Amino acid sequence: MSERSEAEVERGKMVARAGVVGLGTLASRVLGLGRDVALAAMFTADATDAFFIAFTIPNALRQLLGEGAVASAVVPVLSERLALGGDEAAQSFFARVRGISILALVVVTVVGIAAARPICALFAGGYRDRPEQFERVVLQTRLVFPYIFLMGTAALGMAALNAKRKFAVAAFAPGLLNVAFLVCAFAVPPILAAQGVDTAHAMVAGAMLGGVLQVLAQWPALRAIGFAQRPILDLKDRGVREVLRRIAPMTFGIGVYYIDLIIARRFLSELGSGAQSHFTWASRICDFPQGLFVMALSTAALPALATLAAKGDRIELAKTFAHGLRLALFVAIPASVALVFLADPIVVLMFQRGAFDGAAARETARALAWQGGAIWTVSVVRQVVPVFYALGDTRTPVVVSVLDLVVFIVLAVLLRGPMGHVGVSVAVAGSSFAQMALLVFALRSKLGAALETKGADVSGSVARTLVASLVGAAGGAAVARLTVPNEGASAVARALPGVASIVVFGLLFVVAAWGLRSAELQLLSGGMRRRLLRRR
């Protein structure tokens, strides 16, 4: 089999692998939706405001010490070791990477617990005039900070499984976090209340239990592929040094994101009760379509891109990237259009019950329309960045991240006054668009003719997908208006516009895409048919 045909086979497998990751992510997102509905209904806005800030800090560090910089640096080097040296060389390298990772995670966890108060002053300075709320944030930050150790460990294991093309366990394990949240949300508050303890700490218990479960779930799969050996602390290994070399600029880039997050949370803490929660609930809804296929495809593509880059085959690398981008946008564009035009009925369907009232639904929907509209830009970024990482270029994404931060700060400062928490969402959307545009321009310059040949294919695919999405949105919005319930209607009646609009949108989108002869629809539906036939 020629190298070119190997690359073509790899692209064919990429959809199936993304499907595995997407299925696991779907399970996780469905559970996550149940988690979010439970938290929104059972805890007050002040309680969720405090927890979201406390959980943001270790969760953001996870991007730095786990899923973000470290995983993105480890997968290409580990893929190279596997391609050139086989399993034994890769296992030896991974043991050394795990050694330095564990050391870093322990240090960060200890420092984070000790420095919780000044860290919270950065994230939640707006709560200084509400001492009780600020102290709640500080305490929950200390309690939940060890989560970074657990998730950093799990993320490194995920990198090893992905490099070995073992996507199932790594895809399904994150769902355990949501299971833990649900269990603790229902079971722990009565126990805490009986002890006179703040019942909001049940959310902290859920986060910690979820981290433990994810580490334990991966262990059998890691043992099966020989990547569960004892960690080794060895900075002299060439591969470890290469990972550290790649991580240095990535760390700065993620650090820029961290600053972005600090500023966003700080702005939101100054905008009154509920601002943190409205912004976060909108983000949670956006996470659903992003994680379902867009991030799954990015995860599945990175090992293939890294292997092609190691072989120096930029033509096939460009084809693989363009193939993944078309598929990602086929999911991301309709998601963006749906969340812009159907934000209100979707939020009511998902959250309006219990402590989450109509006013909270309206404010969340306003934020969702802007954040949701940026899903397609995020999807492009998710597909472009792995190409730079596969090529060993970690500098370009960092430079773009800095410029993205500048755009975010300018927009947030200008808009938070007149638009409140919605202004922060607008700033997120605007900076995401700027990041996408700059990264695409840089990639075109880097790959040149290898990428130019695929540009027309992507443009045509985007045009067909956008037209189909607008057709779906027109029908969905019309149905939502026709089914609006009367004031004081039951929860079932309130949910009807959301359910009807989503169903109509989906059906019209598929029909329109089929009529426009969308190659992506044919590819995805063909893969599903083949899977069903194999099962029969």
Q: 446, exposed or middle or buried, with CB in 10 Å at 0-12, 13-18, 19+?
A: middle
What residue ranges do the domains of the chain occupy? 12-42+275-528, 44-175+204-273
pTM (whole model) above 0.85: no
pLDDT of residue 26: 64
Cβ atoms of 289 and 32 closer than 8 Å: no
**N-terminal to C-terminal alpha carbon distance within the chain:** 30
Block means of pLDDT (10 residues each) for the chain, 536 residues, are: 49 52 64 80 84 79 59 72 78 84 87 88 76 88 90 81 69 79 90 89 91 88 83 77 69 61 79 84 81 59 62 70 82 92 90 80 92 89 80 80 88 89 91 90 75 67 92 93 76 84 93 88 63 48
Q: Enter the tokens of residue 152.
A: 């950093």
pLDDT of residue 296: 57
Phi, psi at 356, each rounded to 5° = -95, 100
Q: Enter the tokens of residue 350.
A: 């998902």
Q: By C-alpha distance, which of 297, 286, 338 is closest to 507?
A: 338
Listed as own residue / partner, the contacts of 9-16 with beta carbons closer than 8 Å and 24 or more positions apart are: 10/304, 10/307, 10/320, 11/304, 11/319, 11/320, 11/323, 14/297, 14/300, 14/301, 14/304, 14/320, 14/323, 14/324, 15/327, 15/523, 15/524, 15/527, 16/527
pLDDT of residue 1: 43
pLDDT of residue 366: 92
